[in-house]
Amino acid sequence: MTTSKSILTVLNLSVVFPDSNGGLTALENISFDVAPREFICFLGPSGSGKTTLLRVLANLLQPTAGQVHFIHHQHPKIGMVFQQASLMPWRTVLDNIKLPLELEGVGEVKAQNKAREMIRLVGLKGFENSLPRDLSGGMAQRVGIARALIHDPDLLLLDEPFASLDALTRERMWMELSRIWQAKQKTVIMVTHSINESLFLADRVLVLTQRPGKIKLDVEVDLPRPRTDDIRYTSHFGKLAKKLRGAIE
Amino acid sequence: MSVSKHIRNILPVILSIIFALMAWQVTVQVTQLPRFILPAPMDVWLRFLKSLADGSLLYHTGITLSEIILGLLTGITFATVTGYVLAKSRALEKVLSPYLVASQAIPVVAIAPLLVIWLGDGILSKVVICALIVFFPVLVNTVVGVRAVPNALYDLMRSIRATRWQILLKLELPASLPVLLGGLRIGATLSVIGAIVGELVDAEEGLGFLLQLGDFQYDTSMVFVAVFMLIALALSLYGVVTLLERRFLNWQS
Ligand SMILES: Nc1ncnc2c1ncn2[C@@H]1O[C@H](COP(=O)(O)OP(=O)(O)OP(=O)(O)O)[C@@H](O)[C@H]1O
Ligand SMILES: [Mg+2]
């Protein structure tokens, strides 16, 4: 991956959180490039700094050292799915989902229609007017996914978006995400704990070490697309999975 | 809520009022106290009708109500703005909070005469006393409310590039509304006290004036009418806050 054609370059990034004994290093000397329309997965043990990395990319956290360069030096439009759904408890499902459009000043009717479309996409039809308190964890997570996609962002940052879904819904969401990613030509950076998930979705998988997080492994996933359920029984899938498992402590 | 359920809810209230009135009447009959010490319920009722008919009651209630509302609005405005700034700046909070806490050690009742001297015996001094008494509880609740806004939601707003103004309107305001309305509930009750304290110091009009007039003229029934009117005002304000809570906080379980 050459720097010239990458949409995002991360260079020698470190994040140290202040604490009582000299600071806690969450990320240490991370460097990687992301090509336009690339789908990247980060794997790593709990506490290896995956969420911290996404927060830096979303410009929610200033790194202690190192740089994040976006193409043309301007911050892209971001859609982020948080590890905890982060819904506004006073807004209905529909109103939560249309929030990004509201902030962009899109008209009410258009925003509502788009939100209904997203609600269908994540399979929450009939729950438009429910409040977050009445949703299950998986449903709340799907509201978060719909909200991240609604304003057609250039860069999707997904923090374990499918962790609280049942296997069936999860696989349906994989398909949907693959489809959206291919149709809308987005760049996706996703954090997950699931090797299967990363191999199912990603072009490239990066494995982080135990804290402080460093990049331990950077693997191209050269499995053919579209990937269906059968792919996990191929020998190549097995080989990649084994390699990743070996890298995760 | 169905009608029968509504009736079942207010029935105990009505019964207890009837009981209190009966107890009052019995006390008057048994003790045979003179009317200027303890008037009977019927005396108070007739006095109420009389002052209603000659327009004096509504006039003075109107004066007190406008003092309360103006005082409440002024107090809330200053308190929420100051509270928001304090909630956002720890440094400023450190500098200002000693003064704010010290100011709470001075009872407003004690400086009310000063304010009347400085600002005159008209409506202005009462509005200021009201505003002062309302200020602190609303301020504290604003600070607590704004500080309690979840960081995760700030992250969300910033990830979709919300402006400061959008964060205020679409996140901080709705998220802290439960605590803000709690402050308003306390403030509303206190504001009635503020207005009356001001009027009792010196006034030409208002329920406090009516109260004092009744007192001077041994028209004790009039004093009772004024007191009941004050209770009605306080309850109505309380009711308005409750309505606001029902309307805007129905997302809370
Ligand atoms: N705001 C913060 N202040 C202090 N320490 C933090 C902060 N955020 C994260 N950390 C620390 O940084 C380290 C990495 O945290 P992070 O949330 O990025 O891990 P993660 O890889 O996302 O873990 P998980 O898989 O459990 O979600 C942890 O040790 C955590 O305690
Ligand atoms: Mg995490």
Predicted pLDDT of residue B1: 55
Pairwise CB contact (< 8 Å): A58 & B253: no
A30 within 8 A of A68, measured Cβ to Cβ: no
A99 within 8 A of B160, measured Cβ to Cβ: yes
Predicted pLDDT of residue B236: 93
**Residue showing tokens 């804290």:** A211
Q: Which of A201, A181, A178 is nearest to A79 (CA)?
A: A181
Atom 3, ligand 1: residue with shortest CA distance = A17
Contact with chain A for residue B178, Cβ under 8 A: no
- B90: exposed, middle or buried (C-beta count within 10 Å: 0-12, 13-18, 19+)? exposed
Phi and psi at residue B49, to the nearest 5°: -60, -40
CA atoms within 13 A on the CB side of B14: 6
Q: What is the pLDDT along chain A (249 residues), one digit of tens a residue?
A: 444 578 899 999 999 999 888 889 999 999 999 998 999 999 999 989 999 999 999 999 999 999 998 887 678 899 999 998 899 999 999 999 999 999 999 999 999 999 999 999 888 999 999 999 999 888 999 999 999 999 999 999 999 999 888 888 888 888 888 888 888 888 999 999 999 999 999 999 999 988 888 888 899 999 988 888 888 899 999 999 999 998 887
How many whole angstroms from A12 Cα to the centroid of ligand 1? 19
Pairwise CB contact (< 8 Å): A151 & B160: yes
Domain parsing of chain B, residue ranges: 1-32, 39-252
Q: Which residues contact A37 (CB under 8 A, 6 or more apart)?
A: A181, A185, A186, A187
Predicted pLDDT of residue A228: 83
CA A179 distance to own-chain centroid = 15
Amino acid at A134: D
Enter the tokens of residue B82. Answer: 């100051």
CA dist., res. A135 & res. A143, Å (int): 10
CB nearest to B160's CB, from A90, A91, A103? A103
Say which DSSP state A213 is in.
B
Predicted pLDDT of residue B2: 67
How many whole angstroms from A23 Cα to the centroid of ligand 1? 13
Chain B residues with CB under 8 Å of A78 CB are 159-161
Predicted pLDDT of residue A118: 93
Closest ligand, as measured to the CA of A82: 2
Question: Chain A closest CA to B221's CA: distance in Å?
Answer: 49
Q: Which CATH number fits domain B39-252: 3.40.50.300, 1.10.3720.10, 1.10.10.10, 1.20.210.10?
A: 1.10.3720.10
Contact with chain B for residue A60, Cβ under 8 A: yes
Measured CA to CA in angstroms, residue A33 lies from A81, A85, A182 at distances of 21, 28, 20
Residues of chain B with confidence (pLDDT) below 50: none
